[in-house]
Structures are given as C-alpha cells and as structure tokens.
Amino acid sequence: MSINESNLIPCEQVLPNIVLYIDHEIFDNEQLSAVEVHFGECPPCRTQLEQENSTIMLMRNLLCNALNESAPEELNLRISHQTQELYNQMMQAGETQGITEITYTQTTYTEITSEGATQIEITSEIRRQFPQE
C-alpha cells in the first residue's frame, strides 16, 4: 500500500493516525504536513481516510440523534413545583416584586475518542433572573 517516494512516509505510519487527523489531534506541524502530503499522494490511504471519516460522522450523528430527547415529565414537574415554592417563599417574606424570568437549559455533548470510546457530557443549568431593586 505504501508509495515509495523519498519524501513520503510509509502507509504503516499514516494509517494509525487517521482518526487523530480527522479529529484535528495531530499537533506537531511537521507530522501533520507529512500526513496531509501522504493522503494527497496515496489514493488507497485517502480512500481509507474518507471511509473512516464517513463512518465516524455517521456514528456521531446516530449518537446525537439517539440522545436528543426531552427531560422526563417528572423532572419538569419537580422543577415547576420547586420554582413555585421559591416564589411563595419570596411572597411570604414580604417581597412584592415577582420573578421576571426562569430558564432551564440542558445541553448534551457526545464525543467518540480516538480509542473508540464514547464520552457523553450532559450539562444542566437553571437560571433565575430577579428584578433589580
């Protein structure tokens, strides 16, 4: 599979770096340049790169779509109940101004590592904005 040119690194050194190249995780500029030159000059490795990239993108899209779901209704009800309790406590404490905005945000980030492991990060944020006095 290797093309024997003096300035082209062997395929055996390029193939293990395909996923690193796709994920922009080759930080050494000289190594990055050598890998890019190799992909430009070696059709079999370029085909392997394109297939690997296509597979990774398909997996990422499948995972993102599979994880794109609403919060459970029970959680929504608990948040609504706790927010109402907070409002009632503020009103009992003599505060006459109400809450102007409550925002709940949930973000899911999915990443497939170069070792093939899946990392999922879920971030939740509840933001309450109270009126300025």
What is the overall mean pLDDT for the chain? 77
Tokens of 21: 């190249």
Using the predicted structure, report yes or no on whether residue 133 has a pLDDT greater than 60: no
Query: Whole-angstrom Cα distance, residue 72 to residue 85?
Result: 20
More confident residue, 46 or 3: 46
For 103, the enclosing helix (H) or strand (E) is: strand 101-112
What are the boundaries of each domain within the chain?
11-66, 73-129
Using the predicted structure, report yes or no on whether residue 120 has a pLDDT greater than 90: no
Identify the weakest region by mean pLDDT among 28-37, 58-67, 106-115: 106-115
Q: Are strands 101-112 and 118-129 parallel, antiparallel or unpaired?
A: antiparallel
pLDDT tens for 30-49 read: 999 999 999 999 999 999 99
Using the predicted structure, report yes or no on whether residue 89 has a pLDDT greater than 90: no
Identify the weakest region by mean pLDDT among 19-33, 60-74, 77-91: 60-74
